[in-house]
Amino acid sequence: MDILKDRILSEGQALGGNVLKVDSFLNHKVDPKLMYDMGTYFSEYFKDHGITKIFTIESSGIAPTVMTAMQMGLQMVTLKKQASKILNGDVYQTTVHSFTKNMDYELTLSKKYIDKDDKILIIDDFLANGEAALGAARVVEMAGATVAGIGIVIEKSFQPGREMLNEKGYDVYSLARVSKLGKDLIEFITE
């Protein structure tokens, strides 16, 4: 998605070797037109996957996901990050480790909003170590439903997440694939 790569190049900040800050259009200030365009790309790619619902993880995935869901005519579900386990039978939960924040949270889905026939598209803002996407996939599979695709806004291809998702056989589509980050340097995988 060239307009996204252009925005990353002009506004993204590479901090250290692993962190790409895109606070000016995705994670803090948000450009709604760009979110809509992301939705167009995701819906185009996944249109023949038989998707029945779209899941995201709070909170930076919500804006591109709601735009995708609108264009695909589907409902979305925001998986919640709970600090602690909910000890009743109404939810699916799995523990996810956040490397960015160096803490664990319980990714939580109400059982009401999924059933075993669902084919779920998971959308998230970043793919790095794959913890969040794999956690979302686990809650889908706990319900006996199918992960029909994973859509990522920005993939940091030099971290292990992409490979882990590929190994599980998921169909991963990333709008921008960053191959290298360094001081004043952002490079993409060209496809």
Residues that bind its own copies (CB under 8 A): 23-24, 27-33, 35-36, 58-60, 62-63, 66-67, 69-70, 74-78, 80, 110, 112-113
* Cβ-based nearer residue to its own copies, 37 or 187: 37
Q: From the CB of 75, what's the least distance to its own copies, in Å?
A: 6
Q: Is the CB of 84 or the CB of 190 nearer to its own copies?
A: 84
Report the distance separating Cα 113 and Cα 107, nearest Å.
Answer: 14
Shortest distance in whole angstroms from residue 144 CB to its own copies: 18
- What angle separates helix 62-72 from helix 32-46, to the nearest 10 degrees? 50
Which CB atom, from 143 or from 164, has the smaller least distance to its own copies? Answer: 143
Minimum separation from the CB atom of position 36 to its own copies (A):
6
Of the chain, the end-to-end C-alpha distance in Å amounts to 11
Smallest gap from Cβ 132 to its own copies, in A, equals 14
State in angstroms the smallest separation of the CB of 185 from its own copies: 22
Angle 2-11/32-46 helices, nearest 10 degrees? 140
Taking CA 67 as the corner, what is the angle to CA 80 and CA 62, rounded to the nearest 5 degrees? Answer: 20
Q: Which is nearer to its own copies, 77 or 121 (CB)?
A: 77
Residue placing its CB nearer to its own copies in the complex, 36 or 158: 36
Backbone dihedral angles phi then psi of residue 156, each to the nearest 5 degrees:
-95, 95
* Cα distances (Å, whole numbers) of residue 127 to 16, 74, 135, 162: 17, 23, 12, 7
